[in-house]
Structure 1
Amino acid sequence: MAMAVTHIRRGAAAHADRTAVYFGDDTLTFREVNDRANLIAHHLLAAGVAKGAHVALLVNNGLDSIPMDFAAIKTGVVRVPLNARLSLDEHAAMLEGSRATVVVADASLIDRAEELRERFPELTVLGLGVVAPASGVDLLAPTSEPVGEPDVELVPEDPTLMLYTSGTTGKLKAVIHTQASYGAVGANILANLLDPKHDSVMLHAASLIHASGTFVLPYWIRGGASAILPAFDPAAFAAAVGRYRVTELNLVPTMFAMLLSTGVLDDADLSSLRKVIYGASPMPAPVLERSIAAFGPILAQYYGQTEAPLVIAALSEEDHADRSLWGACGIPSADLELKLLDEDGNEVAPGEIGEITLRAPFQMAGYYDADELNAATFTADGWIKTRDLARFNERGYLVLVDRTSDMIITGGYNVYPREVEDALASHPAVAECAVVGAPDATWVEAVTAFVAVNPGAEVTEAELIAHVRDQIAAHKAPKSVHFVDAIPKSAVGKILRRALREPLWEDAR
């Protein structure tokens, strides 16, 4: 099994003079990215940051994002990406939980790094392309000639990435990936989702520390380029497709909605596009329909999670031509084993709902410093229990039902929020929605909906409840509907049901 560092070195050698990165007016070839990565690696080692060190990264999307990641992989340090959108307290909690001893920050986030150092005086702060006030270290100091590969011995089992995920519980969990599993993520994407060529360009607007970043290595292996934007802005994103002759896009459903509602696609040059992929959260059918109309029949969906990135199952462009499959997350990937288990650990009958349990080369090594959680997540023979509930339809497609923690038990019946949300979302007035269980003296939990309506639309609570009752069983329909301006989401666009659910239960205490 090829390690992540092996993929980096092979790609650099095979595609040395091709363009690897676009950022604004700047470009870097594969050789230049590799040289920068080696330079950063040597600076890390010179600063005393050795293999195995936990290094927090406060790095926004930029020209040095990929070289920084590659440098960390080459030196064998464990990178701990910190989402720039989080608060100081959240960053501090991640530093404590990960036991990171070093923070690398770019110019836009160096002040936050200094704030963290005030809390943790022993913390080493290093600047990426900027002199860090506390340390005076600039990780991209000029050099007269390229430096060689860092002299660090790496093995497949070496941890290389610690990625925080809160899941649906709100409790932070740190997922560990190794040189082998991170390398396998790239192979998984190539085998099941994308087939980049030498002229391929993927546009990155979402933060590279999340799912977007997992696409860098597959393109690097094949000689494709990464066009990087600082952030997602609909107008800038639409313009960048034509500017960089982008061939593939990776979006979350909220991005599609923003692109469509702002009209920026109307005059955009989309002629270079070959494929548009999406994931992270369910795609409302009306948004999917409009997106296919805007981009053409080139949409594909992937389902995965931080513990097993990136493609557990995929729904192809051809599958999207069949509307009856829009509720499915796809056919399981070729490079994994997958089964659906009941609460007793037995496989469920065809068509029945069970917990997705899998074993794959790209699965995590485990959660960091969490023995109890690891024991609850891994089976005795190494399979991961994903906490996602699903069933297989009659054609063998995996249909995601919900998270085990989100299931509502009302009057003794199991209700899966996603099924109710799909029914609500089919109403033309509904822009987005989320369903949770609220405490109820009679039913134990009452199905409760939060709905944001489309601009200018009007709809009543009674109308929405009746609309749901027309589509699914009456006991699944909301007992009440709360109208809100927007549904809370995570940094990667996932609906945060817990942010809606927890205040309801607190009020009942």
Structure 2
Amino acid sequence: MLASEMIRRGAVYHGPKTAVMFGDQRMTFTEVDLLSNRIANVFIDTFRLEVGSRVGMLLNNSIYTLPIDFGFVKSRLSRVPLNSRLSLVEQQQMLEGAGVNILIHGTDLTDPARELAQAMQGLKLISIGSADADDLLQLAKAQSDAPPARRCEPDDIVITIFTSGTTGKLKAVEHTQASWAAMATNVLINMEVGEGDVMLHAASMIHASGCFIVPYWLRGGVAAVLPGFTPASYLDAVERWKPTALNLVPTMIGMLLDHPGIEHADFSSVKRIIYGASPMPRPVMQRALKLWGPRFAQYYGQSEAPIFITHLTQADHVGPKAEQRLASCGRPSIDCEVKLVDEAGDEVAPGEAGEIALRTPFAMKGYYNAPELNAQMFLPDGWLRTRDVGRFDDDGYLYLVDRTSDMIVSGGYNVYPREVEDALAAHPAVREVVVVGLPDDKWGESVAAFVALRAGASAEEVELIAFARERVASYKVPKQVRFIDEVPKSPVGKLLRRAVRDPFWQGRERKI
């Protein structure tokens, strides 16, 4: 099955029904399908883009998220989504790394798009929702709404999404028609989705939230999309749109629980609350279960293999073993094989911890233009390393116990210490700096910097935080700066992050 075929079937099966809601706007399955045809024809006939071309996207959530994404699938092109929260430097690295020379942007992001065009010679800008002649929606009006003549193939790349992975170095994950369709099947295997079910989306659709679009589309479900997340607007949407499913990161759940009057909010329509993308603090889940009951299910996945590598079901959240189960990320999903391996790629003995490796149809094709890295990440017979370390219990539940890297997961976003350390090291008063993730009941982990100052120099915490804020994305900025005399190092001079970090994690049952 291909992603393009899933899109075609959803349109045929559910044509006149509502497919997407955004504010007061609505689009039916047929309207989304026909607009996506016209957008695909713009790419092919107006822009003359060849099969496999990559096009940048600097877009926030909107009513047009679905038709644009589907247009890429139908035209055999790869979209390269950019997080609007990233810095100009980071976005430029991604566009140049993927060889992008066309950037589609929303009217609310015109200024950063123009900055990118000034920094990148030859970058063509295409707007969404403006009155300009070269606006994508204006161009689409002149195109046929017939499906493109191009015949999709299983290995066509449909999305190239950047992740810093386990090393802090940008990598471009490539998913195909086949793997994206397998991802949709993976969701349907692990969730009940029926015609008319409504999932509420507040997180950016370029992340995990977007992985639920095609499965809901195929089953006749509705995407209720918000431009972003605030507790007040989210609760208003729950009561107004009556969603049957919520997709949240743990930080969002914590913010909802802390919102005044949350105990009076009407969640009667909600059958399940799916969470993942970062660690779930135990106190937050205990509060959530007490307020909303056993409606929760957790996924463990990554950009390289979205979205249910393992699944902690609603049933796992209750019962005599719930306390133990909640420390795990569940059991492997039906369509994903999981094993634990050592550094050489050999399977470890039962009961031992090892790096999680997986084999599944929804795994990425590989990293774009990175043959050496692909050789490291892929084991024989199609197994993919995750760089996460885990262990199985006797009942087959997987527990994430550590990382092979020092990546910080804060509020569902990956933060790589080296990036923040490099930013702070540019301050004239900073001699050395080490950045680690500390336990945080709201964010899962919070970014903390431990700084050794130069002799005779001085700096205040607020000064260094402001300095970092000018150089990295907001979610990467340290929440706190602590001053130390020396940064711990190994005998060969290697910086020892664990020596700084581990004391703060003592007594914690889960370090990831």
Flag whether TM exceeds 0.5 (same fold): yes
Which residue of structure 1 lines up, in the alignment, with residue 44 of structure 2? 45
Q: Is the 8 A contact 1:339 1:347 kept in 2?
A: yes
Aligned mate of 1:278, from 267, 275, 292 = 275
Which residue of structure 2 lines up, in the alignment, with residue 357 of structure 1? 357
Using a 3 Å threshold, how does the CA distance of structure 1 residues 356 and 452 change in structure 2: closer, same or farther? closer
1:267-314 CA-to-partner distances (Å, cap 9, x unmatched) read 321110000010011111100001112222110100011111111000
What is the alpha-carbon distance in structure 2 between the residues aligned to residue 343 and residue 400 of structure 1?
17
1:151-176 CA-to-partner distances (Å, cap 9, x unmatched) read 11210011111011113432111000
Using a 3 Å threshold, how does the CA distance of structure 1 residues 500 and 214 change in structure 2: closer, same or farther? farther
Question: How many percent identity over aligned positions?
Answer: 45
What is the alpha-carbon distance in structure 1 between the residues aligned to residue 29 and residue 308 of structure 2?
26
Shift of residue 43, structure 1, vs aligned partner: 1.8
Shift of residue 361, structure 1, vs aligned partner: 0.4
Which residue of structure 2 lines up, in the alignment, with residue 84 of structure 1? 84
Shift of residue 448, structure 1, vs aligned partner: 7.7
3-state secondary structure, aligned to 1:52:
coil
Amino acid at match of 2:307: L
Q: Is the 8 A contact 2:357 2:383 kept in 1?
A: yes
What is the alpha-carbon distance in structure 1 between the residues aligned to residue 140 and residue 362 of structure 2?
37
Using a 3 Å threshold, how does the CA distance of structure 1 residues 316 and 495 change in structure 2: closer, same or farther? farther
Which residue of structure 1 lines up, in the alignment, with residue 121 of structure 2? 121
Bigger shift: residues 375-384 or 76-85: 375-384
What is the alpha-carbon distance in structure 1 between the residues aligned to residue 341 and residue 95 of structure 2?
36
Which residue of structure 1 lines up, in the alignment, with residue 250 of structure 2? 253
Which residue of structure 2 lines up, in the alignment, with residue 348 of structure 1? 348
- Structure 2: gaps of 5 or more residues: 422-433, 443-460, 496-512
1:92-144 CA-to-partner distances (Å, cap 9, x unmatched) read 11011111121111211122222222122322211222255xx8344344748
What is the alpha-carbon distance in structure 1 between the residues aligned to residue 477 and residue 254 of structure 2?
14
What is the alpha-carbon distance in structure 2 between the residues aligned to residue 333 and residue 493 of structure 1?
31
Which residue of structure 2 lines up, in the alignment, with residue 19 of structure 1? 18
What is the alpha-carbon distance in structure 2 between the residues aligned to residue 493 and residue 334 of structure 1?
34
Shift of residue 393, structure 1, vs aligned partner: 0.8
**Residue 106 of structure 2 corresponds to residue 106 of structure 1:** yes
Amino acid at match of 1:182: W
1:47-70 CA-to-partner distances (Å, cap 9, x unmatched) read 323321110011110010111000
Which residue of structure 1 lines up, in the alignment, with residue 213 of structure 2? 216
Equivalenced residues, count: 443
Using a 3 Å threshold, how does the CA distance of structure 1 residues 371 and 151 change in structure 2: closer, same or farther? same
Shift of residue 494, structure 1, vs aligned partner: 10
Which residue of structure 2 lines up, in the alignment, with residue 165 of structure 1? 163
Which residue of structure 2 lines up, in the alignment, with residue 55 of structure 1? 55
3-state secondary structure, aligned to 1:405:
coil
Using a 3 Å threshold, how does the CA distance of structure 1 residues 378 and 494 change in structure 2: closer, same or farther? farther
Q: Is the 8 A contact 1:280 1:494 kept in 2?
A: no
What is the alpha-carbon distance in structure 2 between the residues aligned to residue 74 and residue 363 of structure 1?
21
Which residue of structure 2 lines up, in the alignment, with residue 335 of structure 1? 335
3-state secondary structure, aligned to 1:109:
helix
Amino acid at match of 1:58: L
What is the alpha-carbon distance in structure 1 between the residues aligned to residue 477 and residue 281 of structure 2?
13
Aligned mate of 2:231, from 230, 234, 241 = 234
Pairing of 1:345-494 with structure 2 (within 5 A): 345-406=345-406, 450=438
Amino acid at match of 2:86: L
Aligned mate of 1:292, from 289, 293, 316 = 289
Pairing of 1:134-149 with structure 2 (within 5 A): 136-141=134-139, 143=141, 147-149=145-147
Aligned mate of 1:305, from 294, 297, 302 = 302
Shift of residue 145, structure 1, vs aligned partner: 9.3
Q: Is the 8 A contact 2:284 2:441 kept in 1?
A: no
Using a 3 Å threshold, how does the CA distance of structure 1 residues 496 and 359 change in structure 2: closer, same or farther? farther
3-state secondary structure, aligned to 2:158:
strand
Using a 3 Å threshold, how does the CA distance of structure 1 residues 495 and 384 change in structure 2: closer, same or farther? farther
The normalised TM-score by structure 2 is 0.80
Aligned mate of 1:318, from 315, 320, 326 = 315
Which residue of structure 1 lines up, in the alignment, with residue 204 of structure 2? 207
What is the alpha-carbon distance in structure 1 between the residues aligned to residue 276 and residue 482 of structure 2?
22
Which stretches of structure 1, 4 residues or longer, exceed 6 Å deviation after superposition? 446-449, 490-497, 505-509
3-state secondary structure, aligned to 1:282:
coil
1:178-224 CA-to-partner distances (Å, cap 9, x unmatched) read 010011100001112x1111120000000000100000000001000
What is the alpha-carbon distance in structure 1 between the residues aligned to residue 475 and residue 211 of structure 2?
17
Which residue of structure 2 lines up, in the alignment, with residue 424 of structure 1? none
Using a 3 Å threshold, how does the CA distance of structure 1 residues 452 and 284 change in structure 2: closer, same or farther? closer
What is the alpha-carbon distance in structure 2 between the residues aligned to residue 154 and residue 42 of structure 1?
14
3-state secondary structure, aligned to 2:389:
strand
Which residue of structure 2 lines up, in the alignment, with residue 153 of structure 1? 151
3-state secondary structure, aligned to 2:380:
coil
Using a 3 Å threshold, how does the CA distance of structure 1 residues 500 and 361 change in structure 2: closer, same or farther? farther
- Structure 1: gaps of 5 or more residues: 408-416, 422-433, 439-445, 455-481
Amino acid at match of 2:151: E
What is the alpha-carbon distance in structure 2 between the residues aligned to residue 190 and residue 198 of structure 1?
13
What is the alpha-carbon distance in structure 2 between the residues aligned to residue 354 and residue 453 of structure 1?
27
What is the alpha-carbon distance in structure 2 between the residues aligned to residue 118 and residue 448 of structure 1?
35
Q: Is the 8 A contact 2:38 2:143 kept in 1?
A: no
Q: Is the 8 A contact 1:254 1:493 kept in 2?
A: no
Q: Is the 8 A contact 2:166 2:387 kept in 1?
A: no
Bigger shift: residues 227-236 or 168-177: 168-177
Which residue of structure 1 lines up, in the alignment, with residue 501 of structure 2? none
Shift of residue 233, structure 1, vs aligned partner: 0.9
Q: Is the 8 A contact 1:340 1:354 kept in 2?
A: yes
3-state secondary structure, aligned to 1:169:
coil
Q: Is the 8 A contact 1:281 1:493 kept in 2?
A: no
Using a 3 Å threshold, how does the CA distance of structure 1 residues 492 and 257 change in structure 2: closer, same or farther? farther
Which residue of structure 2 lines up, in the alignment, with residue 465 of structure 1? none
1:300-349 CA-to-partner distances (Å, cap 9, x unmatched) read 10001111111100000110111111101001011122111122322222
Which residue of structure 2 lines up, in the alignment, with residue 429 of structure 1? none
Amino acid at match of 1:42: N
Using a 3 Å threshold, how does the CA distance of structure 1 residues 335 and 165 change in structure 2: closer, same or farther? same
What is the alpha-carbon distance in structure 2 between the residues aligned to residue 354 and residue 76 of structure 1?
38
